[in-house]
Structure formats: structure tokens, C-alpha cells
Amino acid sequence: MSQVASARDLWLGSPGPARERLSTAVAALTRARRLQVLVDHGFGGLLVGLGLATFAMLVARLVPLPHAPWQLGGAAVIIAVALALLVGWQRRPDALEVAIRADLTLNLKQRLSTAWEFMTVHDDVKLAERLAVQAVKAGLPIHAGRLFPLRVNRWGRLAPLAAIALLLVSVIDLNWIQAPVPREVDEQVVREGQRLGAFGREMQERARRDRLPRSAGQAAQLERLGTRMESGALNRGEALGQLRGMRDSLDKERMQALAEANQTDIGPLRGESSPLAPDSDPRATLEPMQRGTLDNADTRALAERLAELERSGVPRSDVEDALRRQLPVDNEGMREMLEKLAQIDRARKDGRELQSAREQVRLALENLGESAPGTDARRDPGINLDFDEEEDRGAKSAENAGADGRRRSGTARGAARSGLLGDSRVAPDWQRAPVDPDSRDTGPVLKPESQAREGEVFVTEARVLPKPGRPSVENVAMSSEFSSQVEEVLSKEQYPAHYKELVRRYFLKLSQGRIPQQQPTGKRGIQ
């Protein structure tokens, strides 16, 4: 710019090579124009990017996608701006084009461009200098930036509107878009949608609490799907299609989680022998912990048997605390192992959450009439996709290992019920329950609580056998008014006072989907 600042003096009599003076002036103009072109294209790219982001946000909110809406929107903006800048760079004007534009802008009557051409192409420097002098006299500006200023072009002026549109699309309720025309509402789809939506919200909360991003994303998608189904925007066929897609997405995420959780190399201390080997009694591991005499091999063995110990009633946090207490401050290897364990633990939690979500989706598919159970079969026999099955086995084993199943600790009991504990990869084989070849067909295990008289509540266990020729449906979706209906029934019916709480708990558990549809044999019904 500074060279151009004195362009008028340069052309009107100051000595020096004309070629260099003209080159300097045109080069400054060229730089300014190229920058202007880049900025113009950048604004264009921004506007297009915001438009695409708005569209992507809309689609991502309406259709379950494997990426979060803000990720898609951000990627659209970044890619569009980058492409626009690339196009702007490829379209950068050369010096002659800039001179022509300067002529047109300043009405220089093509003096500057003719001067440039005759200097560079015809090598007629004298003529070029005369023309350049005329151009300066005719009003060639002192500052190139004044001729080609950086400006907010029309694309840039429209960009805030596009940003507002993006913002609106990201926050407004889209249910009215999803159901633009009234259609016959499928009550079953609505009920399944309510159930899935509620489950998705709970899953999101858990994922947030446990910091599980993979589960959080899937939970958000599940909730959106549930909301759409609940709103009646989807008919049964569409809901089935969406659910299948959701199931596939959950499978994919679950496989990734499992692959992450399957990491066996948990630290640099592997290979040392320890009295806490997998074939020892899990209870015995508590003794060296209580004594505080753990060596490296012990801690490694403990880490490997973390899940197994947990099923045996030893809280994971206690074991981890014990490991930490044993660690010397500078034991980086052990610290790394613990970090890896935490990572594996998160992956397992992810897997469990995703497995649970997948069960819900599978249930919804069945309830909506997807009759072929084979469609839900495991697709990759090489990878165990079912955490629950193995964990149930482990839990059962743990229960068997316990004294009588009635004095189980709260943690173990809760884990066994929900099927959310256990780790088939870490637990040794001898501790697993014997695999019943027909176990897959025997149906779920029921553990209803009973009360014969005032006082202690006892638990019985039953296995539900599906009736031949009927699909095995584990859970029945309950309406959202179920709890209030229970209260209403309880208030009308005459029960002994000490039974009322038991009855209420029973039905509320039904509403949470823990009790299968079929009544267990010998179970007393509620009249």
C-alpha cells in the first residue's frame, strides 16, 4: 500500500524505471483485489454453510442420525467456508484483470489496463508510462484499499438472517412439522413412543451422570424417536423402519463399546504371578487388601478381577480405593493401568446402557408386530453383543456362591435384578453358571417379592415358559396414567393394611417393565 500511496508522485515526474513503478502500483491493487475476492467468497461460503447447517439441523432433528445436529451443522459451515475460500483462491484475478477492473471502477477509460498490457506483453514501456500518467491524472486512487475495500457483500448481509434461521431450527419445537397432516393415530405406536421417550430421557440422565458420550448420543436419538412416535407422526410401518434403524445404530455403537471394553492389556504388570489368581476364592482377595500387603502381582490380579469381585459383593469403588492406597506415588505403570481400567469401565457401562436401549427397541419392534425373531439375532458371532445374558449368568453364579440368596447385599441384588452387572470377559469360566442349552428359550427369571404376613418380605424365583405358538413378549408397555390408576384401584378395593404397600410396589414394578407379560405359575393374581 505504501508504494501505491505515492503513486501519483511516482507517475508525475519522479525519476526511476517506469516498469517498476507500474508493477508496484498494479501489484498493490492486485493484492487488495485478491483479498477482497477471498472475503467475498468467504461470505458466500458462510451463507451457503449456514443454509446447509440449517437443513442438516432440521434433518438431524427429524431423522435419527449417527451424529449430533450441532456436529453436522458445524461441519457444514466449516466445509462450505473452506470450499468457498478455495474457489476464491482458484478464481483469484491476475494483474491484467485487476487493472481492467480498476479502469471500469474508476472510469479510467482502460488506460491502466492498456498500459499494463503494453508493458508486459508488447514491452512498450514508454507508451505504458504515458498511459499510466494519464490514468493517474484521471483519478487512479492513492490507496489500493480505497479502490478494493474489504466489504460486507450481499452474502455477508444475508448471513445473520441465515444464522437466525439456524438458531430457530435448532430450538423450535418441530412436532408440528413432523405431523403436518392429520392421520390416524396408532395407539400402540404412541404407547411405544411414550415408553421409549421416557427410557431415552432416563438413559440420557445416566449417561450424563456417568459421562458416557456414546450412550448420550444414542439416548438423545432414542428420545427423539420416542417423541415422534408419541406425537403420532409415524404410522406403524414408518415406526418399524425407524426402530430398525435405531436398532442397527445401537448395535454398531455397542460393538464399538465392546471392542473398547475388550482390551485385555490393562497395564505393564501383566505376567506376574499372584495368590489372587482367578482360580482362587474371591472372598480370599479381601484378606490381603485388609492386611494392606498387596504387591504388584496382587494389584494386577485385583484389577483383572474387578468385575468378578463386584459380582461377589465387593464394591468396585472399594477395590479401586484399595488399589490406590497400595500404589507408591511414582508407580506410573500402575497409575496407567488404573486409568485404562477406568476407560474400560466406561466402555462397559456404555455397552450396558446400549444393550439396555437395544432391548427396549427390540421390545418395541416386537410389540409393533415385527414377528420374525431371527431379525434380531446376533449378526457377528465372533463378538458377544449381549452383555446381559452373560452378566445374568455371572449374577446367578454370584447368587449361587452366596449363602442363600436372602442375605445378599443391596448392590449385588440390585445388579442381579437389573441385569446390569457382570463381565464375561474378566470373570473366569469356573464362576459362571452352567450354561443351559435351552436357557435362551426358557424366558426371563421373575423374582417377585411376597409377604405372607406382617414382617419380612421374601423373594421367590420363577422362570417363565412361553406358550407354544405365541411370541415371547417380556414386557408390556404401560400407559402413563398407570400409576394413578393403581392408586385409584387401591383406594377402592379392600385390602388388609399390611398388604397395600406390597400390592402397590408390585404394580409399580409392572409399570417399569420389570415383570413379563405372562403371569408366573403359581403367582397369585390381584383381584
- Closest to another protein by CB, 110 vs 384, is 110
CB 137 within 8 A of CB 27: no
Q: Which of 3, 23, 110, 262 binds another protein (CB under 8 A)?
A: 110
CB 424 within 8 A of CB 430: no
Please, what is the minimum distance in Å from the beta carbon of residue 11 to another protein?
14
> Is there binding between residue 459 and another protein (CB under 8 A)?
no
- The span of 115-123, 290-298, 408-416, 498-506 binding another protein (CB under 8 A) equals 115-123
> Is there binding between residue 90 and another protein (CB under 8 A)?
no
- Closest to another protein by CB, 43 vs 118, is 118
Q: Which of 100, 136, 294, 412 binds another protein (CB under 8 A)?
A: 100
> Is there binding between residue 117 and another protein (CB under 8 A)?
yes
- The span of 13-21, 109-117, 188-196, 244-252 binding another protein (CB under 8 A) equals 109-117
Please, what is the minimum distance in Å from the beta carbon of residue 113 to another protein?
6
For 357-389, letters b (16+ CB in 10 Å) and e give bbbbbbbbbbbbebeeeeebeeeeeeebbbbbb
- The span of 129-137, 374-382, 426-434, 450-458 binding another protein (CB under 8 A) equals 129-137
> Is there binding between residue 121 and another protein (CB under 8 A)?
yes
> Is there binding between residue 134 and another protein (CB under 8 A)?
yes
Q: How big, in percent rounded to 5, are the helix, strand and coil portions of the chain?
A: 65, 0, 35
In whole angstroms, give the CA distance from residue 5 to residue 146: 11
- The span of 7-15, 94-102, 285-293, 331-339 binding another protein (CB under 8 A) equals 94-102
Pairing of strands 458-459, 449-450: antiparallel
At 476, the amino acid letter reads: V
> Is there binding between residue 195 and another protein (CB under 8 A)?
no
> Is there binding between residue 114 and another protein (CB under 8 A)?
yes
CB 246 within 8 A of CB 66: no
Please, what is the minimum distance in Å from the beta carbon of residue 102 to another protein?
12
In whole angstroms, give the CA distance from residue 265 to residue 304: 10
Please, what is the minimum distance in Å from the beta carbon of residue 208 to another protein?
55
- Closest to another protein by CB, 80 vs 147, is 147
Please, what is the minimum distance in Å from the beta carbon of residue 46 to another protein?
23
CB 143 within 8 A of CB 28: no
Pairing of strands 445-446, 462-463: antiparallel
In whole angstroms, give the CA distance from residue 365 to residue 376: 10
CA dist list (Å): 198 to 203, 216, 480, 482 = 9, 14, 10, 14
Q: Which of 41, 111, 311, 358 binds another protein (CB under 8 A)?
A: 111
- Closest to another protein by CB, 81 vs 133, is 133
- Closest to another protein by CB, 109 vs 509, is 109
> Is there binding between residue 113 and another protein (CB under 8 A)?
yes
CB 459 within 8 A of CB 404: no
How many residues contact another protein, by CB under 8 A? 18
Q: Which of 11, 43, 118, 148 binds another protein (CB under 8 A)?
A: 118
- The span of 45-53, 100-108, 346-354, 477-485 binding another protein (CB under 8 A) equals 100-108
* DSSP 8-state secondary structure symbol assigned to residue 436: P
- Closest to another protein by CB, 33 vs 311, is 33
Please, what is the minimum distance in Å from the beta carbon of residue 47 to another protein?
21
Neighbours of 56 (CB within 10 A): 24
- Closest to another protein by CB, 117 vs 253, is 117
Closest among 421, 451, 450, 453 to 520, alpha carbons compared:
450
Query: What torsion, rounded to 10 degrees, do the Cα atoms 163, 167, 172, 175 define?
Result: 70
- If phi over 0 gives left and psi between -120 and 50 gives alpha, with beta otherwise, what is residue 476? beta
Q: Which of 62, 83, 87, 96 binds another protein (CB under 8 A)?
A: 96
- Closest to another protein by CB, 135 vs 159, is 135
> Is there binding between residue 153 and another protein (CB under 8 A)?
no
CA dist list (Å): 389 to 106, 251, 393, 395 = 80, 15, 6, 10
Angle 333-336-338 from CA coordinates, rounded to 5°: 115
Task: Mention every residue, 6+ apart, whose C-beta is less than 8 A from residue 69.
Answer: 56, 57, 60, 61, 170
Please, what is the minimum distance in Å from the beta carbon of residue 110 to another protein?
4
- Closest to another protein by CB, 92 vs 143, is 92
> Is there binding between residue 340 and another protein (CB under 8 A)?
no
> Is there binding between residue 97 and another protein (CB under 8 A)?
yes
- Closest to another protein by CB, 109 vs 244, is 109
> Is there binding between residue 92 and another protein (CB under 8 A)?
no
Q: Which residues of this protein are in contact with another protein, per CB under 8 A?
A: 96-97, 100-101, 103-104, 109-111, 113-114, 117-118, 121, 127, 130-131, 134
